[in-house]
Amino acid sequence: MRSWPVVNSLGAMGKAIPGESLIPERPDGVRAVAVVRVPRSRAPVGVARVPVVWELTRRLPPPPPPAAPVFVDDTGRRGRWVAVAGAGTALLVLALVAVFWLSQAVHL
């Protein structure tokens, strides 16, 4: 019974030729679609008051490829521009400071 919903998916039913259902009829005459509609147990999963270690590693779907977080530029282009601008500014500043002090030092 547990395997029925998996084997007899609704998608497979949609592809079936009318009158030639892929869902085999069970001995008691109930088709799979009826099985799918059987309500599941409403008992909370895993709320048992005992410690249970679940190994879900293989049960969870693989995570989607990570989208770039806010501000992040994985191409590195922005970082290079900022680095060049920063280094240029720093060198310009150093040059200006050096020129200033040299211009004053010659009068000492």
Partner 1 sequence: VTLWVRSGTSSADPPVMKTRFRFPPRFFVAVVLIFLLINLLFVEAYANARFAPDQDRQPMNSQRRVPADALTGGALIRADGAGHASYRLPDRTLALTFDDGPDPQWTPQVLQVLRRHQVPATFFVVGSQVARHPDLARRLVAEGNELGVHTFTHPVLGDLPAWRRRTEYAQTQMTIVHATGVHTRLLRLPYSSGPDSIDDINWPLVTEAGRLGYLSVFSDADSRDWARPGVDAIVRSSTPADGRGAVVLLHDSGGDRSQTVRALDRMIPALRQQGWQFTTVSEGYRRAVAAAAPGSASSSASSPATVVLPAPADAPAAVEGWHGTALVGAVQAADGTVAVLWALLIAVGVLTLIRTVLLCGYAIGHARRRRSPTWSWGPPVTEPVSVIVPAWNEREGIAGTVTSLVTSGHDVEVVVVDDASTDGTAAVVAALNLPGVRVVRVPWGGKAAALNAGIALSTHPIVIMVDGDTVVEPEAIHRLVQPFADPTVGAVAGNVKVGNRTTMVARWQHIEYVIGFNLDRRLYETFDCIPTVPGALGGFRRMALLAAGGVTDDTLAEDTDLTIAVHRAGWRVVYEESARAWTEAPATVRQLWLQRHRWSYGTMQALWKHRGGLRDLGRPGRFGRRGLPVLALFTVLLPLLAPLVDIFAIYGFLFLDRAQTVVTWLAVLVLQVLTGALAFRLDKEPLRALWALPLQQIVYRQLMYAVLLHSLVTAATGGRLRWQKLHRTGQAAQSAPAGHLS
Q: Contact positions toward partner 1, by CB under 8 A?
A: 44-47, 49-57, 60, 63, 65-67, 69-74, 76, 78-79, 82-83, 86-87, 89-90, 93-94, 97, 99-100, 103-104, 106-108
Alpha-carbon distance of 82 to 88, in angstroms, equals 10
Closest approach of partner 1 to the CB of residue 61, in Å: 10
- 34: closest CA among 46, 18, 21? 21
Partner residues linked to 20 by β-bridges:
17
Closest approach of partner 1 to the CB of residue 88, in Å: 10
Give the burial class of 8: count Cβ atoms within 10 A of its Cβ; 0-12 exposed, 13-18 middle, 19 or more buried.
buried
Closest approach of partner 1 to the CB of residue 41, in Å: 13
Q: Report which DSSP code applies to 48.
A: -
